[in-house]
Protein backbone atom coordinates (compact mmCIF):
# COMPACT_ATOMS: atom_id res chain seq x y z
CA UNK A 1 0.00 0.00 0.00
CA UNK A 2 2.80 2.46 0.91
CA UNK A 3 4.73 1.46 -2.19
CA UNK A 4 1.68 2.21 -4.34
CA UNK A 5 1.29 5.69 -2.83
CA UNK A 6 4.98 6.51 -3.24
CA UNK A 7 4.87 5.32 -6.84
CA UNK A 8 1.80 7.45 -7.55
CA UNK A 9 3.44 10.53 -6.07
CA UNK A 10 6.65 9.92 -8.00
CA UNK A 11 4.66 9.53 -11.21
CA UNK A 12 3.21 12.98 -10.58
CA UNK A 13 6.65 14.51 -10.20
CA UNK A 14 6.89 14.52 -6.41
CA UNK A 15 10.15 13.95 -4.61
CA UNK A 16 9.41 12.08 -1.38
CA UNK A 17 11.59 11.92 1.71
CA UNK A 18 11.58 9.10 4.24
CA UNK A 19 8.08 8.33 5.57
CA UNK A 20 7.62 9.09 9.27
CA UNK A 21 5.17 7.28 11.56
CA UNK A 22 3.23 9.78 13.67
CA UNK A 23 1.58 6.79 15.33
CA UNK A 24 2.91 3.35 14.51
CA UNK A 25 0.53 1.46 12.27
CA UNK A 26 -2.03 4.28 12.45
CA UNK A 27 -0.81 7.55 10.91
CA UNK A 28 2.04 8.01 8.44
CA UNK A 29 3.59 11.29 7.29
CA UNK A 30 5.11 11.38 3.79
CA UNK A 31 7.10 14.61 3.29
CA UNK A 32 7.23 15.56 -0.39
CA UNK A 33 8.11 18.43 -2.71
CA UNK A 34 7.65 19.21 -6.37
CA UNK A 35 3.90 18.56 -6.49
CA UNK A 36 0.92 20.69 -5.51
CA UNK A 37 -0.90 19.41 -2.39
CA UNK A 38 -4.21 19.00 -4.23
CA UNK A 39 -2.58 16.90 -6.94
CA UNK A 40 -0.66 14.86 -4.37
CA UNK A 41 -3.83 14.18 -2.41
CA UNK A 42 -5.69 13.06 -5.53
CA UNK A 43 -2.81 10.75 -6.49
CA UNK A 44 -2.62 9.23 -3.01
CA UNK A 45 -6.37 8.70 -2.82
CA UNK A 46 -6.36 7.00 -6.22
CA UNK A 47 -3.58 4.69 -5.08
CA UNK A 48 -5.51 3.88 -1.91
CA UNK A 49 -8.83 3.20 -3.64
CA UNK A 50 -10.67 0.44 -1.82
CA UNK A 51 -8.44 0.69 1.25
CA UNK A 52 -9.77 1.96 4.58
CA UNK A 53 -7.19 4.73 4.73
CA UNK A 54 -7.66 8.51 4.69
CA UNK A 55 -5.21 10.74 2.80
CA UNK A 56 -4.78 14.48 3.35
CA UNK A 57 -2.04 16.56 1.71
CA UNK A 58 -1.20 20.16 2.51
CA UNK A 59 1.66 22.64 2.63
CA UNK A 60 3.99 21.83 5.52
CA UNK A 61 4.62 25.48 6.42
CA UNK A 62 0.99 26.17 7.37
CA UNK A 63 -0.26 22.74 8.41
CA UNK A 64 -0.52 23.62 12.11
CA UNK A 65 -3.74 25.57 12.55
CA UNK A 66 -4.51 28.28 15.08
CA UNK A 67 -8.30 28.28 14.74
CA UNK A 68 -10.67 25.31 14.91
CA UNK A 69 -14.31 25.70 13.92
CA UNK A 70 -16.36 22.52 14.30
CA UNK A 71 -19.89 21.44 13.53
CA UNK A 72 -21.59 19.53 16.37
CA UNK A 73 -24.15 16.95 15.17
CA UNK A 74 -22.62 13.82 13.63
CA UNK A 75 -19.23 15.51 14.00
CA UNK A 76 -18.35 16.30 17.61
CA UNK A 77 -21.23 14.13 18.84
CA UNK A 78 -22.24 10.86 17.20
CA UNK A 79 -25.91 11.68 16.60
CA UNK A 80 -28.22 14.33 15.18
CA UNK A 81 -29.55 15.77 18.43
CA UNK A 82 -32.75 17.07 16.82
CA UNK A 83 -33.54 13.58 15.54
CA UNK A 84 -32.91 12.13 18.99
CA UNK A 85 -35.12 14.80 20.54
CA UNK A 86 -37.82 13.85 18.03
CA UNK A 87 -37.68 10.30 19.38
CA UNK A 88 -39.10 11.70 22.62
CA UNK A 89 -42.19 12.68 20.64
CA UNK A 90 -42.34 9.43 18.69
CA UNK A 91 -41.35 11.27 15.51
CA UNK A 92 -37.73 10.24 15.00
CA UNK A 93 -38.16 8.41 11.70
CA UNK A 94 -40.24 11.18 10.17
CA UNK A 95 -37.96 14.01 11.29
CA UNK A 96 -34.73 12.11 10.58
CA UNK A 97 -35.82 11.73 6.95
CA UNK A 98 -36.09 15.52 6.65
CA UNK A 99 -32.75 15.98 8.42
CA UNK A 100 -31.00 13.62 6.01
CA UNK A 101 -32.28 15.51 2.99
CA UNK A 102 -31.37 18.88 4.47
CA UNK A 103 -27.86 17.73 5.37
CA UNK A 104 -27.35 16.42 1.83
CA UNK A 105 -28.35 19.83 0.43
CA UNK A 106 -31.68 18.71 -1.00
CA UNK A 107 -33.79 21.06 1.15
CA UNK A 108 -33.45 24.66 2.26
CA UNK A 109 -31.88 24.43 5.71
CA UNK A 110 -33.91 27.22 7.35
CA UNK A 111 -37.25 25.95 6.08
CA UNK A 112 -36.40 22.38 7.04
CA UNK A 113 -35.38 23.45 10.55
CA UNK A 114 -38.59 25.42 11.10
CA UNK A 115 -40.65 22.48 9.81
CA UNK A 116 -38.98 19.98 12.13
CA UNK A 117 -39.16 22.20 15.20
CA UNK A 118 -42.84 22.94 14.56
CA UNK A 119 -43.53 19.20 14.74
CA UNK A 120 -42.20 19.17 18.32
CA UNK A 121 -44.63 21.76 19.66
CA UNK A 122 -45.77 20.82 23.15
CA UNK A 123 -42.85 18.47 23.88
CA UNK A 124 -41.93 18.84 27.58
CA UNK A 125 -38.72 20.72 28.34
CA UNK A 126 -37.51 17.68 30.30
CA UNK A 127 -37.12 15.85 26.97
CA UNK A 128 -34.12 18.04 26.22
CA UNK A 129 -32.27 16.80 29.29
CA UNK A 130 -33.19 13.18 28.58
CA UNK A 131 -31.83 13.56 25.06
CA UNK A 132 -28.61 15.10 26.37
CA UNK A 133 -28.08 12.23 28.79
CA UNK A 134 -27.93 9.75 25.89
CA UNK A 135 -25.74 11.92 23.65
CA UNK A 136 -22.23 10.56 23.09
CA UNK A 137 -19.07 12.30 21.97
CA UNK A 138 -17.42 11.28 18.72
CA UNK A 139 -14.19 9.35 19.40
CA UNK A 140 -11.25 11.73 19.35
CA UNK A 141 -13.30 14.88 20.08
CA UNK A 142 -11.69 15.62 23.43
CA UNK A 143 -8.18 14.89 22.16
CA UNK A 144 -8.70 17.15 19.14
CA UNK A 145 -9.78 20.18 21.13
CA UNK A 146 -7.43 19.66 24.07
CA UNK A 147 -4.38 19.22 21.84
CA UNK A 148 -5.14 22.21 19.65
CA UNK A 149 -5.82 24.37 22.70
CA UNK A 150 -2.55 23.24 24.29
CA UNK A 151 -0.81 24.35 21.09
CA UNK A 152 -2.41 27.79 21.40
CA UNK A 153 -5.34 27.44 19.02
CA UNK A 154 -8.80 28.94 19.52
CA UNK A 155 -11.64 26.39 19.35
CA UNK A 156 -15.25 27.24 18.52
CA UNK A 157 -18.33 25.07 18.10
CA UNK A 158 -20.83 26.25 15.49
CA UNK A 159 -24.04 24.34 14.86
CA UNK A 160 -27.35 24.51 13.08
CA UNK A 161 -28.64 22.66 16.13
CA UNK A 162 -29.51 24.18 19.47
CA UNK A 163 -27.73 26.06 22.24
CA UNK A 164 -29.13 23.66 24.86
CA UNK A 165 -26.78 21.03 23.43
CA UNK A 166 -23.87 23.15 22.15
CA UNK A 167 -23.42 24.77 25.56
CA UNK A 168 -23.11 21.40 27.23
CA UNK A 169 -20.87 19.96 24.53
CA UNK A 170 -18.61 23.01 24.60
CA UNK A 171 -18.21 22.73 28.38
CA UNK A 172 -17.58 18.99 28.23
CA UNK A 173 -15.08 19.05 25.37
CA UNK A 174 -13.37 22.36 26.09
CA UNK A 175 -14.38 24.71 23.26
CA UNK A 176 -13.75 28.38 23.96
CA UNK A 177 -17.16 29.36 22.59
CA UNK A 178 -20.27 27.98 20.95
CA UNK A 179 -22.89 29.27 18.51
CA UNK A 180 -26.21 27.65 17.58
CA UNK A 181 -29.95 28.18 17.31
CA UNK A 182 -32.21 28.75 20.29
CA UNK A 183 -35.38 26.79 20.89
CA UNK A 184 -38.29 28.81 22.27
CA UNK A 185 -39.89 27.45 25.45
CA UNK A 186 -43.02 28.51 27.32
CA UNK A 187 -44.74 26.99 30.34
CA UNK A 188 -42.22 24.13 30.47
CA UNK A 189 -42.66 22.99 26.88
CA UNK A 190 -41.38 23.65 23.37
CA UNK A 191 -43.46 26.20 21.49
CA UNK A 192 -42.60 24.71 18.12
CA UNK A 193 -40.56 27.75 17.14
CA UNK A 194 -36.90 28.73 16.98
CA UNK A 195 -35.43 32.17 17.56
CA UNK A 196 -34.60 34.23 14.49
CA UNK A 197 -32.28 34.72 12.73
CA UNK A 198 -31.53 31.05 12.15
CA UNK A 199 -27.89 30.02 12.13
CA UNK A 200 -27.28 28.39 8.76
CA UNK A 201 -24.48 27.80 6.24
CA UNK A 202 -23.94 31.52 5.68
CA UNK A 203 -23.79 32.09 9.43
CA UNK A 204 -21.15 29.38 9.81
CA UNK A 205 -18.98 31.00 7.15
CA UNK A 206 -19.52 34.41 8.73
CA UNK A 207 -18.41 33.01 12.09
CA UNK A 208 -15.22 31.64 10.51
CA UNK A 209 -14.42 34.98 8.86
CA UNK A 210 -15.20 36.96 12.01
CA UNK A 211 -13.10 34.79 14.29
CA UNK A 212 -10.15 34.75 11.90
CA UNK A 213 -10.27 38.54 11.68
CA UNK A 214 -10.65 39.06 15.43
CA UNK A 215 -7.72 36.71 16.11
CA UNK A 216 -5.61 38.35 13.41
CA UNK A 217 -5.23 35.09 11.49
CA UNK A 218 -5.15 34.44 7.74
CA UNK A 219 -7.74 31.86 6.69
CA UNK A 220 -4.95 29.41 5.82
CA UNK A 221 -4.35 29.06 9.57
CA UNK A 222 -7.92 27.80 10.13
CA UNK A 223 -9.31 24.26 10.33
CA UNK A 224 -13.00 23.51 9.89
CA UNK A 225 -14.81 20.19 10.16
CA UNK A 226 -18.38 19.10 9.49
CA UNK A 227 -20.58 16.58 7.72
CA UNK A 228 -23.55 18.44 6.23
CA UNK A 229 -24.33 20.71 3.30
CA UNK A 230 -24.64 23.68 5.65
CA UNK A 231 -20.95 23.15 6.52
CA UNK A 232 -19.67 23.40 2.96
CA UNK A 233 -18.99 27.15 2.76
CA UNK A 234 -16.81 27.06 5.90
CA UNK A 235 -15.12 23.83 4.74
CA UNK A 236 -14.28 25.34 1.36
CA UNK A 237 -13.03 28.65 2.81
CA UNK A 238 -10.73 27.38 5.56
CA UNK A 239 -7.04 26.61 5.21
CA UNK A 240 -8.02 22.99 5.85
CA UNK A 241 -11.68 22.02 5.62
CA UNK A 242 -12.44 18.39 6.39
CA UNK A 243 -15.65 16.58 5.51
CA UNK A 244 -15.93 14.11 8.39
CA UNK A 245 -17.91 10.96 7.54
CA UNK A 246 -19.95 13.36 5.51
CA UNK A 247 -23.03 13.25 3.29
CA UNK A 248 -22.35 12.37 -0.39
CA UNK A 249 -22.74 15.89 -1.77
CA UNK A 250 -20.40 17.23 0.91
CA UNK A 251 -17.76 14.57 0.22
CA UNK A 252 -17.86 15.45 -3.46
CA UNK A 253 -17.35 19.17 -2.87
CA UNK A 254 -14.96 19.28 0.09
CA UNK A 255 -11.19 19.52 -0.37
CA UNK A 256 -10.37 16.87 2.25
CA UNK A 257 -12.25 13.90 3.67
CA UNK A 258 -11.97 11.63 6.70
CA UNK A 259 -14.09 8.51 6.39
CA UNK A 260 -12.16 5.90 8.34
CA UNK A 261 -10.26 7.54 11.19
CA UNK A 262 -11.76 9.31 14.18
CA UNK A 263 -11.34 13.00 14.98
CA UNK A 264 -7.69 12.52 15.93
CA UNK A 265 -7.10 12.28 12.16
CA UNK A 266 -7.38 16.07 12.21
CA UNK A 267 -4.40 16.18 14.56
CA UNK A 268 -2.34 13.79 12.45
CA UNK A 269 -3.14 15.98 9.43
CA UNK A 270 -1.45 18.83 11.27
CA UNK A 271 1.63 16.77 12.01
CA UNK A 272 0.95 16.02 15.67
CA UNK A 273 2.34 12.75 16.94
CA UNK A 274 0.13 10.64 19.16
CA UNK A 275 2.67 11.15 21.93
CA UNK A 276 1.96 14.89 21.68
CA UNK A 277 -1.79 14.58 22.22
CA UNK A 278 -2.91 16.54 25.28
CA UNK A 279 -4.17 14.65 28.31
CA UNK A 280 -7.98 14.50 28.40
- What is the rounded CA–CA span in Å between residue 70 and residue 175? 9
Question: Which residue from 121, 115, 78 is spatially nearest to 98, judged by alpha carbons?
Answer: 115
- What is the rounded CA–CA span in Å between residue 112 and residue 225? 22
Question: Which residue from 249, 244, 248 is spatially nearest to 269, judged by alpha carbons?
Answer: 244
- What is the rounded CA–CA span in Å between residue 154 and residue 69? 8
Got the DSSP string for 64-85? Answer: S-SEEEE--TTTTBSS-HHHHH
Is 71 catalytic? The answer is yes
* Segment holding 261, helix H or strand E: none
- Residues 101-126 as b/e (b if ≥16 CB within 10 A, e otherwise) read ebbebebebbebbbebbebbeebeee
Of 54, 71, 83, 231, which is the active-site residue?
71
CB 8 within 8 A of CB 43: yes
Residue 60: C-alpha distances to residues 20, 30, 40, 88, 269 (Å): 14, 11, 13, 47, 10
Of 20, 29, 54, 73, which is the active-site residue?
73
Catalytic center residues? 71, 73
Amino acid sequence: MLAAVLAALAAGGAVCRAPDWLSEGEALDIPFSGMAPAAAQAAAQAALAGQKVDAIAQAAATRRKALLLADMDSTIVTTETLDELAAEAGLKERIAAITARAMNGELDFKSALRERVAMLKGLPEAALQRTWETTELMPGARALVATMRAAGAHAALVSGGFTFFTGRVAALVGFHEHHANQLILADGALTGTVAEPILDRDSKLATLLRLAQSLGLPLERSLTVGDGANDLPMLQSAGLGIAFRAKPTVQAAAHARVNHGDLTALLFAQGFRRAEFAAM
